[in-house]
Amino acid sequence: MTGCYGQDWSSYQSSAPDTTGLSFAFVKVTEGLHYVNPKWSAQREQAKSKGLLWGAYHYPNMHDSAKEEADFFLSKVKWEPGDMVVLDWEGYDRNNAGLTNKQRNSYKESYLSYIKSKLPHNPVGIYCNTDYWLNVDTSNSYQDFLWIATAGKHAGDPGIKADWLFHQYSASSVDKDYCKLSADDLKTWAHSFNQEETDMALTDAELKKITDAVADAVYDKIMKTDGLLKAPTDAADYKKNPFWTFQSHIESQTANMHAILALLKKYKPSK
């Protein structure tokens, strides 16, 4: 397999877990509306200082407002490009007892859509086990990525048909995970959501180069491809290509060129 390996950490792990052989790490940050993992910041620093791609997850109390829990989670982290954002969508504890599948699904959908609206330039996904995915979920939705847990199965073989990205394949002393992308491809994917990083303003030199190329292309279209460079030489030629057609064609192509240039000049995103 060409994938890579990672782990997910909570307060049960040390503040500086061993990162040997790892390419990514997920860290529990919050739970419900009140709990914060006291080690999450140190664990994040450990992951990033070792060059790992980092993600954070929130464990819900689905009786609460999804928006309020999302705001609580978001407020704890200074988010950076490439950071992965996860809802740990499960609930077998007493804080999540008595919920219907409809309520669980409603929480998931509301939470993910709200988080994505707040962090549009970061990958947002869910973690869940096969019980939740196969028996609780009704929409087959997970925003940007699915992290599926099937402890005891071989890494990369979670046993579902959905297009998963991460697989938690072991939950012994530490939760072990597999990503089906290579380490380099995973980082490229995670950073691809950051539009502010990729949509750079055009320099004056780049704009002039594009402007000249568009002008040359329009000239070639009018004068060469359409055969309008030569003036009509006889009645048949004039009938085929009278001056008014020539003029109309130039005006049409020139208008197109100016429209393109106007769009290019506007292509300077705010910083």
DSSP letters, 42-106, are HHHHHHHHTT-EEEEEEE--TTS-HHHHHHHHHTT----TT-EEEEE----SGGGTT--HHHHHH
Residue 149 in domain: yes
Based on the fold, state whether residues 152 and 234 are members of the same structural domain.
no
Angle at 196 between CA 256 and CA 125, to 5 degrees: 115
**Dihedral angle computed from the Cα positions of residues 29, 59, 57 and 118, in that order, rounded to the nearest 10 degrees:** -100
Of the candidates 129, 138, 144, the one whose C-alpha atom is nearest the C-alpha of residue 104 is: 138
Q: Which of 16-30, 61-75, 128-142, 201-215 has the lowest mean pLDDT?
A: 201-215
pLDDT band with cut points at 50, 70 and 90 for residue 256: low
Based on the fold, state whether residues 19 and 58 are members of the same structural domain.
yes
Asked if 81 contacts 50 with a C-beta cutoff of 8 angstroms, the reply is no
- Over residues 142-157, the mean pLDDT reads 94
Q: Which of 31-40, 155-164, 189-198, 210-219 has the lowest mean pLDDT?
A: 210-219
Residue 188 in domain: yes
Based on the fold, state whether residues 108 and 194 are members of the same structural domain.
yes
Q: For the chain, give the longest Cα–Cα distance.
A: 93
Range among 80-84, 150-154, 212-216 rated most confident: 80-84
pLDDT band with cut points at 50, 70 and 90 for residue 58: very high
Based on the fold, state whether residues 147 and 219 are members of the same structural domain.
no
Judged on CB neighbours under 10 Å (0-12, 13-18, 19+), 19 is: middle
- Rounded to the nearest integer, the mean pLDDT of the chain is 85
Asked which of 198, 215, 246 is the last residue of a domain, the reply is: 198
Checking if the pLDDT of 205 tops 90, the result is: no
Q: What is the pLDDT of residues 14-33, one digit of tens each?
A: 999 999 999 999 999 999 99
Residue 176 in domain: yes
Which residue did the predictor score with more confidence, 48 or 172?
48
- Distance separating alpha carbons of residues 143 and 4, to the nearest angstrom: 22
E strands, the chain, where?
4-9, 24-31, 35-36, 53-59, 84-88, 124-129, 145-149, 166-171, 175-179
Asked if 32 contacts 95 with a C-beta cutoff of 8 angstroms, the reply is yes
What would the two tokens of residue 132 be?
Answer: 């939740």
- Over residues 124-151, the mean pLDDT reads 96
Q: What is the DSSP letter of 265?
A: H
- Distance separating alpha carbons of residues 214 and 248, to the nearest angstrom: 19
E strands, 135-210, where?
145-149, 166-171, 175-179
Checking if the pLDDT of 199 tops 50, the result is: no
Checking if the pLDDT of 185 tops 60, the result is: yes
Based on the fold, state whether residues 51 and 141 are members of the same structural domain.
yes
- Over residues 187-196, the mean pLDDT reads 89
Residue 80 in domain: yes
Based on the fold, state whether residues 125 and 38 are members of the same structural domain.
yes
CATH number at residue 25: 3.20.20.80
Based on the fold, state whether residues 184 and 209 are members of the same structural domain.
no
Asked if 56 contacts 90 with a C-beta cutoff of 8 angstroms, the reply is no
Angle at 13 between CA 112 and CA 82, to 5 degrees: 40
Residue 271 in domain: no
Which residue did the predictor score with more confidence, 72 or 207?
72
- Over residues 133-139, the mean pLDDT reads 95
Interstrand relation of 53-59 and 24-31 (parallel, antiparallel or unpaired): parallel
Residue 155 in domain: yes
112: part of which helix (H) or strand (E)?
A: helix 101-118
pLDDT band with cut points at 50, 70 and 90 for residue 269: very low
pTM: 0.72
Based on the fold, state whether residues 38 and 165 are members of the same structural domain.
yes
User: What SS3 class is residue 252?
Assistant: helix
Based on the fold, state whether residues 148 and 255 are members of the same structural domain.
no
Asked if 90 contacts 129 with a C-beta cutoff of 8 angstroms, the reply is yes
pLDDT at 257: 63
Domain span holding position 212: 204-266
Based on the fold, state whether residues 33 and 63 are members of the same structural domain.
yes
Based on the fold, state whether residues 221 and 170 are members of the same structural domain.
no
Which residue did the predictor score with more confidence, 245 or 108?
108
- Over residues 183-197, the mean pLDDT reads 88
Asked which of 198, 215, 240 is the last residue of a domain, the reply is: 198
Based on the fold, state whether residues 60 and 189 are members of the same structural domain.
yes
Number of structural domains the chain divides into = 2
Asked which of 180, 198, 216 is the last residue of a domain, the reply is: 198
Residue 208 in domain: yes
- Distance separating alpha carbons of residues 117 and 256, to the nearest angstrom: 36
Which residue did the predictor score with more confidence, 245 or 142?
142
- Over residues 148-166, the mean pLDDT reads 94
Residue 132 in domain: yes
